[in-house]
Amino acid sequence: MKNIPSVDLSDFLSNNEKRKQKFIKEIGEAYEEIGFVALKGHFLTDDLSEELYNEVKSFFALPNKVKQNYEIEGIGGQRGYTSFGKESAKGKTVGDLKEFWHFGQEVIDNDKLKEEYPDNVMVKELPNFNKIGVKTYKMLEKTAMYVLRALALYIGLDEFYFDNYVINGNSILRPIHYPPIIGEPKGAERAAAHGDINLITLLMGASAAGLQVQNKQGEWIGVTALPEQLVINVGDMLERLTNNKLRSTIHRVVNPPKEDWAKPRYSIPFFTHPISEMTLNCLPECIDNEHPKAYDDITAGEFLNERLRELGLLK
């Protein structure tokens, strides 16, 4: 396998049962094999994607002193700005070569969750930043919902199994800036090898090469996708829930060749998280004699907090 498989969400959305089943089979098998797909036919328009990238570049171009006004202590970086080098991969002592922003859920009709989640942080210097960020969030969340419906059917669950967990879920849209590299990185990478915490991650086209995934043979494969595609991968929560049936593949963002150190890189992943109460207990549909239960019972909220502490974002 030289690259990740490509799938088309319009197959699943069609009224043609044959096309729908084709999509379910293709995405399910891809997630068992490599854990990543390139998906077209989603709900994010090119224009909205371009608008958000323009806003994001404007934000990260602000002086550090201004950006640091939006760094909120005590919430594990779940909203607003996280400064350069603060996050490290699990098991790493050196910080990644990146800074980032978090947009979170705008809760509808649920006062309990509205109280649980931190408020989104408004950027006064950029009047359209939050509006475009939230609009993009909703389009990616909608896409994630349909992907999870397909995966529910692949696993043998009710098609809408994930809906009530993802609607008003604790999902995060994370614009990331990898600044130009100045001087020898000394072991630091733009993003060290890691698995994502969540159910699935949807990645809007990155502005430069560098994303790699590790296949079952331990080889690193460069991820390439067409401009109209989203790269979507399985996270640790879904791997745990499916008792390792669907793979949360280790991936990284490698540093560019020295001649490209002066070029920045931007990417915008959407991390699909469920509500905190969702249990990640291994599904009975994924347990048998050959695949005994591999994990202890835990909720999504407990698992998230455990991982945020490991990443150095929560004390």
The predicted-structure confidence for 43-64, as pLDDT tens digits, reads as follows: 999 999 999 999 999 999 999 9
Using CB atoms within 10 Å of the CB of residue 69, give its burial: 0 to 12 exposed, 13 to 18 middle, 19+ buried: middle
| pLDDT in the model for residue 1 | 45
**Is 1 within a domain?**
no
| pLDDT in the model for residue 253 | 77
**Is 82 within a domain?**
yes
- DSSP reduced 3-state for 6: strand
pLDDT tens figures, 117-173: 999 999 999 999 999 999 999 999 999 999 999 999 999 999 999 999 999 999 999
**Is 193 within a domain?**
yes
Nearest C-alpha neighbor of 37 from the set 28, 47, 49 = 28
**Is 244 within a domain?**
yes
CA gap 77, 95 in Å, rounded = 15
Mean pLDDT of the chain: 89
Nearest C-alpha neighbor of 29 from the set 149, 204, 150, 140 = 150
Residues 104-110: contacts with CB under 8 Å, at least 24 apart: 104/78, 104/79, 104/170, 104/171, 104/172, 104/173, 105/137, 105/168, 105/169, 105/170, 105/171, 106/134, 106/137, 107/168, 108/168, 110/168
pLDDT of 14 strictly over 60: yes
**Is 89 within a domain?**
yes
**CATH code at position 54:** 2.60.120.330
Range of the structural domain that residue 234 is part of: 6-310
- Find the range with the poorest average confidence among 84-88, 110-114, 145-149: 84-88
Total domains present in the chain: 1
- Find the range with the poorest average confidence among 12-21, 85-94, 138-147, 272-281: 85-94
| pLDDT in the model for residue 90 | 59
**Is 48 within a domain?**
yes
**Is 57 within a domain?**
yes
| pLDDT in the model for residue 180 | 81
**Is 315 within a domain?**
no
